[in-house]
Amino acid sequence: MNELHELDATAQSAALRSGEVTSVELVRHHLDRIEAHGATLGAFVTVTAEQALERAAAADQRIASGDAPPFAGVPTAFKDLTFTRGVPTSMGSAGMRDFVPDLNAYVVDLVEAAGFISLGKTNTPEFGLSSYTDNDVIGPARTPWDPTRNAGGSSGGAAAAVSAGLVPVAQGSDGGGSIRIPASACGIFGFKPSRGRVSAGPAGSDWSGLAGDGPLTRTVRDAAALLDAMAHPEPGDVRPLPEPAVPYAEWARRAPRRMRIARWSQTHLDGVSPGPDAVEAWESASRLLESLGHEVVDVDNPFPRELEPQFNVIWSSGIASAAIPEEVEPLLRANTRYWRDRGRASTAIELTRALQFLELTTRQVVTNLQAYDAFLTPTLALPPQPVGWFNESSDPIEDHRRELLFTPYTALYNMSGQPAASLPLHWTAEGLPVGVMLAALPGQDGPLFSLCAQVEQAAPWHDRRPPGFD
């Protein structure tokens, strides 16, 4: 058998059931890897080793009794934005490092009900605001492909952990690209589901329609299985989608029908263009899709540039309305204060107009795209960037400008509510991962999984691992 951390979660589950390994052994193996590599990568804020080993022992008993959920005993981790009962949840903020929720996010309950065992909380920027991961709690998360470079954000710790084999799968959240950005920077697969696919309950809110939880994995089948665990609406959800009639794991095993795929590489932002590595990755993916029998059609970027300022009104209003304790305010990073100040300057009328503009505009975009089954763009405009590149100026305005240079594509699908995935199909001459993004029409998560699985089969990436972490 391969090294335990070389197995994806589906294979680890099979090994547990066949008796090749126990959950205690599997959890200890991954805890040892976290101890060896976690600090180097800035992957984990909190490690819950004792709790994980206790749960692993209980999982072994359930497996032996024949009464175990499908992923009983398999390690995972939750993002440090996600409420976990009795476990510190800093939200990437030094002022919140002692905050311990007294309840779980619903997604935590669902993932644990599938049998997964959390090894701790993964690194995130303060309140998940940035497309890179850095904070005053433990510092930056780094991509295992070059630890001098940032892992991306805001699920950067989760992506680094999966990429380096510290856990086989991890939960992330995505309000502007926060699953797909670090997936690209860390050379793994990341899937943002359709709006309403995963509940924000019981304490979270989907008031803006931008954010949702999803999987970060090394294989498409693991992402499908983890989303199967997550995709159950909670009573009272504002915009719930029904549970899928066909499990996503089944979609990942199905060959897709021939698809008509629209592609574009130009951005909707003035003065922002993809770099040569992003274009090369996108062109290569286009040829691969054509070789698989799909029709790939060039179109202009259908999203208008006017979306960006309206998105910023909503984004800044969200962090401005966050109930941050008064004593924490002086400890906030400059970037967080910048966005809170922007949000406080917006009126209720401006926020309402921004929400309506996004809804009406993206509805028309989706209407205009009905002739296509899928959409191909770069995930990011640039490869992973040096750790200090985004905030080296200490100017939040320049920080934001550089974030737009880095990630001009991902937030559009948060605005439209479409499912989108980053696939690790390309590496630069220097060995840095560069993802490409495939998206589908709203609600078409299943067919998108089929397409991604077909691409993975044609151009496998699972065995490509960052040097020094094998």
pLDDT of 5 over the 90 cut: yes
First to last CA, the chain: 15
Catalytic residue among 79, 155, 416, 450: 79
What pLDDT is recorded for position 140? 98
> What's the whole-model pTM score?
0.98
The dihedral built from the CA positions of residue 441, 217, 235 and 115, taken in this order, carries a sign that is positive
Is 178 considered catalytic here? yes
Average pLDDT over the chain, rounded to an integer: 97
The structure tokens listed for 228 are 């199967």
Is 79 considered catalytic here? yes
Tell me the residue ranges of DSSP E strands in 181-321. 189-192, 212-217, 260-263, 295-298
Domain ranges in the chain? 4-458
pLDDT of 1 over the 70 cut: no
Tell me which H or E stretch contains 7: none
β partners of residue 16: none
Q: For the structural domain made of 4-458, what CATH number should be given? A: 3.90.1300.10
Half-sphere exposure of 278 (CA within 13 A, CB side): 27
Q: What are phi and psi of 79, to 5 degrees?
A: -65, 145
Residues, the chain: 470
Q: What is the pLDDT of residues 263-283, one digit of tens each?
A: 999 999 999 999 999 999 999
Q: What is the pLDDT of residues 347-356, one digit of tens each?
A: 999 999 999 9
The structure tokens listed for 415 are 């605005």
What pLDDT is recorded for position 2? 80
pLDDT of 126 over the 70 cut: yes
Could you give the 3-state DSSP secondary structure of residue 415?
helix
Catalytic residue among 90, 131, 155, 178: 178
pLDDT of 72 over the 90 cut: yes
What pLDDT is recorded for position 311? 98
Q: What is the pLDDT of residues 129-143, one digit of tens each?
A: 999 999 999 999 999
Catalytic residue among 154, 317, 422, 450: 154
